[in-house]
């Protein structure tokens, strides 16, 4: 397998999608969507391989900054997924998330980022098939859009938020 540039994606049943070049980061809440992605794995539901998952406790933990940073500094797509509304492990975390992400989405064009590079969804821990669908569709969409042109390279240390806390 050679390693130049993004390539097209294989059909959902198939397997391979070589993704060298395309990077998608997924922020998944621990209780629902991370579990849903696990369920998809346990059921061997094949998915494109572009996605890299970051586990967060709740979508309410999602700081729009994480999405902005990812998209500005080199990721081609960001997927956020949590519990369905009213099914949040922390009661209302996903409501906060929904409001924030809606507002944030409106800002993306001002940052020079195509809004199609960002998506948020709700997938429960039992919905393995739904997860497969979400990942496949989103990966296909990002492949169509190609590499993120608005990428700025960052230099190591200044990429951190300084909080004084660890």
Who's near 54: CB < 8 A, 6+ residues apart? 25, 26, 27, 28
Give, as ranges, the residues between 16 and 35 that touch other proteins (CB under 8 A): 16-20, 23, 25, 30-32, 34-35
Tokens of 73: 């500094």
- Per-residue x/- track, 32-71, other proteins (CB under 8 A): x-xx-xx-xxx-xxxxxx-xxxxxxxx-xxxx-xx--xx-
Q: Tell me if 154 contacts other proteins by CB under 8 A.
A: yes
Distance CA 102, CA 126 (A): 25
Q: Tell me if 112 contacts other proteins by CB under 8 A.
A: no
Q: Tell me if 103 contacts other proteins by CB under 8 A.
A: no
Burial of 76 (0-12, 13-18, 19+ CB in 10 A): buried
Q: Tell me if 92 contacts other proteins by CB under 8 A.
A: yes
Q: How far is the CB of 68 from other proteins (least distance, A)?
A: 10
Q: How far is the CB of 134 from other proteins (least distance, A)?
A: 13
* Coil vs helix vs strand at 61: helix
Distance CA 39, CA 104 (A): 30
- DSSP structure class, residue 149: T
Q: Give the other-Cβ count within 10 Å of 162's Cβ.
A: 7
Q: Tell me if 86 contacts other proteins by CB under 8 A.
A: yes
Residue ranges that bind other proteins, judged by CB under 8 A: 1, 15-20, 23, 25, 30-32, 34-35, 37-38, 40-42, 44-49, 51-58, 60-63, 65-66, 69-70, 73-75, 83, 86-93, 96, 100, 124-127, 132, 154, 156, 159-161, 163-166
């Amino acid at each position: 397998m050679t390693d130049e540039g993004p390539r097209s994606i294989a059909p959902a049943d198939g397997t391979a999608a070589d993704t060298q070049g395309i990077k998608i980061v997924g922020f998944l809440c621990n209780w629902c969507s991370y579990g849903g992605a696990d369920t998809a794995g346990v059921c061997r539901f094949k998915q494109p391989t572009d996605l890299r998952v970051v586990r967060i406790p709740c979508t309410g933990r999602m700081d729009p900054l994480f999405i902005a940073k990812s998209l500005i500094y080199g990721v081609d797509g960001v997927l956020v997924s949590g519990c369905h509304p009213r099914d949040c492990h922390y009661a209302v975390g996903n409501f906060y998330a929904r409001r924030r992400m809606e507002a944030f989405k409106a800002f993306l064009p001002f940052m020079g980022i195509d809004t199609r590079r960002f998506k948020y969804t709700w997938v429960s821990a039992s919905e393995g098939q739904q997860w497969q669908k979400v990942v496949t569709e989103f990966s296909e969409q990002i492949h169509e859009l190609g590499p993120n042109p608005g990428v700025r390279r960052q230099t190591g240390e200044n990429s951190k938020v300084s909080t004084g806390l660890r």
